[in-house]
């Protein structure tokens, strides 16, 4: 999303009272995050975009840094006065194709920091703001993964963190009930992004073979997130799976 698009989205509702509301999208510089940001902007949402690629974002944020996360949500409060939606999207796969026994502890920790700690820090900051604002409430949508259900070979750090995100989603959903804070999760399989480029040339399967896998457009994911986001707070999509129809998920392994 370029600066002009971002500024246009921001002008739509500076206070969050008009249009759809105010949304924060993390990992918004590319891939799923960018597609969702564009869909939300087209749907009338005001946006605060967070990520590490400063040229594409409103607020440059390392989601593993608690102070930077706090600054992001403070900026949202200052500019818009409230927060209605967090799409918790920032994530990393880590080093691809590394056997479990060779995975460096530093690489394990790096994936945990982004996928789990970063997701928690953003959710916590959003939860605090949604609880305190008037009118109270909002929605958090976490980006899980097909790997929150079934692993790929040599993906232990990514798979473990995505399983943990599911637990985080459930806890947020429960703890948010008294404050009109809804939380759901979208589990995505083979959206066409930079992360899935290798699937077009062949990726390791559970039987040890390499196989090309089908992908789907990131815009198809974005439409699903937009649907989840636009539900009234009295309704919630707890878990949604959106995947390339013929990818090896059902029956994986």
Answer whether 50's CB lies under 8 Å from 28's CB: yes
In the set 127, 158, 179, 249, the catalytic residue is 158
DSSP collapsed to 3 states, the chain: CCHHHHHHHHHHCCCCCCCCEEEEEECCCCHHHHHHHHHHHHCCEEEEEEECCHHHCCEECCCCCHHHHHHHHHHHHHHHCCCCEEEECCCCCCCCCCCHHHCCHHHHHHHHHHHHHHHHHHHHHHHHHHHHCCCCCEEEEEECCHHHCCCCCCCHHHHHHHHHHHHHHHHHHHHCHHHCEEEEEEEEECECCHHHHHHHCCEECCCCCEECCCCECHHHHHHHHHHHHHCCCCCCCCEEEEECCCCCCCCCC
Q: Is 249 among the catalytic positions?
A: no
For 96, residues 6+ apart whose C-beta sits below 8 A from its C-beta are: 154, 198
Active site residues: 158
């Amino acid at each position: 999303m370029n600066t002009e698009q971002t500024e246009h989205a921001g002008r739509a509702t500076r206070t969050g009272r008009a249009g759809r509301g105010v949304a924060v999208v993390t990992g918004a510089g590319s891939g799923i995050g960018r597609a969702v940001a564009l869909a939300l902007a087209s749907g009338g949402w005001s946006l605060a975009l967070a990520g590490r690629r400063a040229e594409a974002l409103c607020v440059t944020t390392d989601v593993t840094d608690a102070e930077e996360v706090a600054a992001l949500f403070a900026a949202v409060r200052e500019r818009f006065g409230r927060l209605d939606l967090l799409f918790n999207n920032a994530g990393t796969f880590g080093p691809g194709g590394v056997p479990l026994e060779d995975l460096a502890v530093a690489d394990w920790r790096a994936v945990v920091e982004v996928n789990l700690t970063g997701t928690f820090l953003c959710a916590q900051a959003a939860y605090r703001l949604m609880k305190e604002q008037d009118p109270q409430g909002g929605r958090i949508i976490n980006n899980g993964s097909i790997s929150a259900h079934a692993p790929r070979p040599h993906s232990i750090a990514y798979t473990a963190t995505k399983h943990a995100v599911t637990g985080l989603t459930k806890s947020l959903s429960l703890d948010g009930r008294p404050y009109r804070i809804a939380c759901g999760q979208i589990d995505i399989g083979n959206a066409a992004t930079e992360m899935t480029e290798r699937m077009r040339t062949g990726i390791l399967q559970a039987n040890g073979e390499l196989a090309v896998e089908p992908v789907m457009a990131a815009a198809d994911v974005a439409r699903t997130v937009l649907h989840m986001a636009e539900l009234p707070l009295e309704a919630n999509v707890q878990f949604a799976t959106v995947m390339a129809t013929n990818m090896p998920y059902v029956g994986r392994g």
